[in-house]
Amino acid sequence: MTRAALSALLSHWRRNPLQLFTLLAGLALATALWSGVQAVNAEARASYDNAAATLGEASFDQLVSSDDAPIAQTDYVALRRAGWLVSPVVEGQINGVRLIGIDPLTAPGGLGPVDLAAGADIGAFLSGNGQIFGTADTIAALGALDVDGVITPETAPNVAYTDIGVAQRLLNRPDQIDLLVVAADQPIVQKPLPEIVPNLIRRTAQAGSDVAKLTDSFHLNLTAFGLLSFAVGIFIVNGAIGLAFEQRRPVVRTLRALGVPLNRLIGLIAVELMLMALVAGIIGVALGYVIAGLLLPGVAATLNGLYGAEVAGTLQLRPSWWLSGLAIALGGTAVAATGALWKLSRMPLLAAAQPRAMAMAAGRRAQVQGILAAVLIGTAIILALTAQGLVAGFAMLAALLIGAALGLPVILSVCLAFGANRAKGVIAQWFWADTRQQLPGLSLALMALLLAMAANVGVSTMVSSFRLT
């Protein structure tokens, strides 16, 4: 019985390939936009973390000059003789590359590419012309220097490491140090820092990157636009699922009359939709990878121009974003199909054959939808008057947009009822009544159109204002 019922349900898609294409394409495109945005955000945040780990800002305290002047090498020697475990660092710019000079013999673990415990060739790093570690693009950007280049793909973009003596020579800064990295484990008895180097101040380690905090607004905007695009796509999927349920009502009625249990029927439809969502999600993630690869260079240039943040120009397949793409595809399909499955479970057997059944059910649901719209719009007003912060602002916009979308069918129904009550002729009455009959089937498309137009007007206005400014 299960196989026969599943075959009967799948026969609808064979007879209506355009509906199947709409369902898969809508979900795949929605997932692609979301996955592409998340891929760009994940790559940017990974670059921020790499940059923050460049000098161990998140793990180790630092000693810096109180007047932003270079630290004398004699101060470093005095600290080491007093028992302080510190490591010198000098940095500067060469051809747009951030060149960092470290001392691998005193640097704390995880600082720089030279790990003595891993058996690195410390002799080649320290002796002769020295070595510079960086990505292939970074080594190429440095040009012809009297130093051996070593390609290390895990290094942050536009950042190169070398021995501190080599860096001082290349940067023409002899006996100068920019900062001292303080190891986490220090001797129990030490002379206080102010007595040794009164001109230095200690900067505590900070979790996260300052650049990451600075660009939070930018990435939150990208996430919001990706989520809004996904919401519009889910409206399309919801409409396709609703149309399929409407057209399959006779099949559902027949299967139930032949003895197929309602729970089994709902389970088969849910499995059918989840399989389609999985296929569409895989296609969407693949398309999202392509979209992210095309957008990443432009986003990297924007972040560098606005915030001075260095973002790698290559895209990696990170589980954080492609798993979220599959999850949101499955979750979005579940949300889109919940309404139709709920109606199927609550509607009596013969009610599915009545032309007005769905319209009457929609009329009853319109009251709940109107109450929910009023609550969301009221929440948006309260947040606009009281809330502060970026996340609260996006929550206000989300409540306003969703509330307006949910309220649109209710407002249209009131307007149509007003026109029907004032219709004089038979044709006019038929027109208003037929229009109200079609409203439940068109409401999802109209809500999606409202969100799409609102997003288009809002984004166009924001971008235009930004360019004019």
Q: What is the pLDDT of residues 212-270, one digit of tens each?
A: 666 777 777 777 777 777 877 777 787 778 778 777 777 877 887 778 787 888 888 88
Do 120 and 80 sit in the same domain of this protein?
yes
Do 150 and 293 sit in the same domain of this protein?
no
Q: Is 75 part of any domain?
A: yes
How far is residue 25's CA from residue 432's CA, in Å, rounded to a whole number? 34
Among residues 176, 205, 234, the one where a domain terminates is 205
Q: Is 362 part of any domain?
A: yes
Among residues 179, 205, 231, the one where a domain terminates is 205
Do 316 and 339 sit in the same domain of this protein?
yes
Q: Is 173 part of any domain?
A: yes
Do 244 and 313 sit in the same domain of this protein?
yes
DSSP β-bridge partners for residue 201 = 64
Tens digit of each residue's pLDDT (9 = 90 or more) over 106-154: 877 656 655 544 445 666 666 667 788 888 888 888 877 777 778 877 7
What's the pTM value of the predicted model, to 2 decimals? Answer: 0.66
Do 235 and 167 sit in the same domain of this protein?
no
Could you give the C-alpha distances from 427 to 56, 179, 346, 423, in angstroms and in order?
78, 85, 35, 9
Do 284 and 222 sit in the same domain of this protein?
yes
Do 198 and 222 sit in the same domain of this protein?
no
Number of domains present in the structure of the chain = 2
**Which residue range(s) make up the domain with 336?**
2-50+212-468
- Is residue 400 within 8 Å of residue 387, measured between CB atoms? no
158: left (phi over 0), alpha (psi -120 to 50) or beta: left
Helix (H/G/I), strand (E/B), else coil: 64: strand
Q: Is 99 part of any domain?
A: yes
pLDDT of residue 353: 47
Q: Is 261 part of any domain?
A: yes
Do 347 and 435 sit in the same domain of this protein?
yes
Q: Is 182 part of any domain?
A: yes
User: Which of 119-128, 356-365, 371-380 has the least mean pLDDT?
Assistant: 356-365
Q: Is 55 part of any domain?
A: no
Among residues 189, 205, 221, the one where a domain terminates is 205
Tens digit of each residue's pLDDT (9 = 90 or more) over 417-454: 888 888 888 888 888 888 877 777 677 778 878 887 88
Q: Is 56 part of any domain?
A: no
Do 82 and 26 sit in the same domain of this protein?
no
- Average pLDDT value for residue range 86-113: 80
- Is residue 178 within 8 Å of residue 90, measured between CB atoms? yes
Do 248 and 161 sit in the same domain of this protein?
no
Do 217 and 340 sit in the same domain of this protein?
yes
User: For residues 191-211, b (16+ Cβ closer than 10 Å) or e, as one string?
Assistant: eebeebbeebeeeeeeeebeb
Percent of the chain past pLDDT 90, that is, above it, reads 4
Do 254 and 184 sit in the same domain of this protein?
no
